[in-house]
Amino acid sequence: MRKLPGLSETHIDHRAYPPGVAYMDGQYLPMKEAKLSVLDYGFLHSDATYDVVHVWAGAFFRLEDHLNRFFRGMEELNLSIPYDKAQTREILHNCVALSGLKSAYVEFICTRGTSPTFSRDPREAENRFIAFSIPFGSVANKDQMEHGLHLAVTDVLRIPPGSVDPTVKNYHWLDMVKGLYAAYARGADTAVLIDGKGNVSEGPGFNIFVFRDGEVSTPIASVLLGVTRQTVFDICSGMGIPCHARDVSVEDLKGADEVFVTSTAGGVMPVTRIDNKPVGAGGVGGFSEKMMAAYWEMHNDDSFREAVSYP
């Protein structure tokens, strides 16, 4: 008989992970130690909700909005954690302070969790809370921030609201990943997906905006109600610029004067090419530049910032 391999006691993981600090089960841990059971239904069924908030220059930006969305998402999915909003806020502050990061990407997650019997009934699972603070990341790199992203309009259908509520932030990204590979194959940086009516929806991790004839529009359906998206509405309101959530067709997108995308991971990011053609006059437009400047300026507003107390 063939000899069986031996059983190891603990997992040895040789991979490298980014620096940072995570919170799980009452412990603060180095990022490389933050691991969840492969039996967690947050993994095996992507049965989870989450949020991402960023820290910039040592302060959270719009943390209250991210916390509210997270707690609403848990309620929608019948998930719960043993922390209220104030306690969750404190955990996030601790993660960032312990990580020492002045610019951080802070994710917090509630998964369906596990049951000791691997029950298929989600009501029998013990939900799990995880939070972590790692270095700030962006959808667009430095060069793309300067010269603009190249976007591919794909025919990939964003998972429709009748299947999964896009306003409850979730990890169902295989449509996004399919869009990304399609975009790469066409020489683009990232992708935009379409909704059930053939209109523009959103891309991998971002909302999309078009600027034309002095007005701003963004898709109304099949999209996450992004906090950065809301920030653009707020900025437009302050500027006296009309900003509408409405159906945005592919023609609207391609015929725009300017296009930009928004994400907690990067803020407002310009798009200067779509399907290999320049947007508007080409180059990063004047309105997009104003919007980017206003976005970062808002980080100094005390009604949106919450300073972290570092050790």
- As a whole number of angstroms, the distance between CA 197 and CA 1 comes to 61
Nearer to a second copy, 35 or 244 (CB): 35
- How many residues of this chain interact with a second copy, rule: CB under 8 A? 89
- As a whole number of angstroms, the distance between CA 142 and CA 227 comes to 22
Q: Cβ 283 to a second copy, closest distance in Å?
A: 24
Q: Cβ 9 to a second copy, closest distance in Å?
A: 7
Among 158, 169, 273, 305, binds a second copy (CB under 8 A): 158
- As a whole number of angstroms, the distance between CA 241 and CA 169 comes to 28
**Sign of torsion, CA 23 25 27 31?**
negative
Of residues 221-280, which lie at the interface with a second copy (CB under 8 A)?
Answer: 265
Tokens of 22: 């995570």
At position 34, the amino acid (one-letter code) is A
Rule CB under 8 A: say whether 157 interacts with a second copy. Answer: yes
- As a whole number of angstroms, the distance between CA 262 and CA 245 comes to 14
Q: CB count, 10 Å around CB of 211?
A: 23
Residues in the chain: 311
- Asked if residues 136 and 104 have their Cβ atoms less than 8 Å apart, the reply is yes
Of residues 90-119, which lie at the interface with a second copy (CB under 8 A)?
Answer: 94, 97-98, 105, 107, 109, 112, 114, 116-118
- As a whole number of angstroms, the distance between CA 291 and CA 249 comes to 22
- As a whole number of angstroms, the distance between CA 50 and CA 100 comes to 23
Q: CB count, 10 Å around CB of 52?
A: 18
Nearer to a second copy, 32 or 72 (CB): 32
Rule CB under 8 A: say whether 21 interacts with a second copy. Answer: yes
Rule CB under 8 A: say whether 303 interacts with a second copy. Answer: no
Rule CB under 8 A: say whether 164 interacts with a second copy. Answer: yes
- As a whole number of angstroms, the distance between CA 87 and CA 233 comes to 30
| Cβ-based neighbours of 103, under 8 Å, separated by 6 or more | 54, 55, 56, 57, 135, 136
Of residues 45-64, which lie at the interface with a second copy (CB under 8 A)?
Answer: 45-47
Q: Cβ 81 to a second copy, closest distance in Å?
A: 15
Among 55, 156, 216, 232, binds a second copy (CB under 8 A): 156
Rule CB under 8 A: say whether 298 interacts with a second copy. Answer: no
Of residues 179-218, which lie at the interface with a second copy (CB under 8 A)?
Answer: 180-181, 184, 204-205
Q: Cβ 141 to a second copy, closest distance in Å?
A: 10
Q: CB count, 10 Å around CB of 227?
A: 23
Among 43, 83, 233, 304, binds a second copy (CB under 8 A): 43
Tokens 């896009």 found at:
166
Q: Cβ 203 to a second copy, closest distance in Å?
A: 11
Nearer to a second copy, 97 or 268 (CB): 97
Nearer to a second copy, 96 or 248 (CB): 96
Nearer to a second copy, 169 or 229 (CB): 169
Tokens 């809370």 found at:
129
Among 56, 83, 173, 304, binds a second copy (CB under 8 A): 173
Nearer to a second copy, 28 or 295 (CB): 28
Rule CB under 8 A: say whether 171 interacts with a second copy. Answer: yes
Q: Cβ 282 to a second copy, closest distance in Å?
A: 25
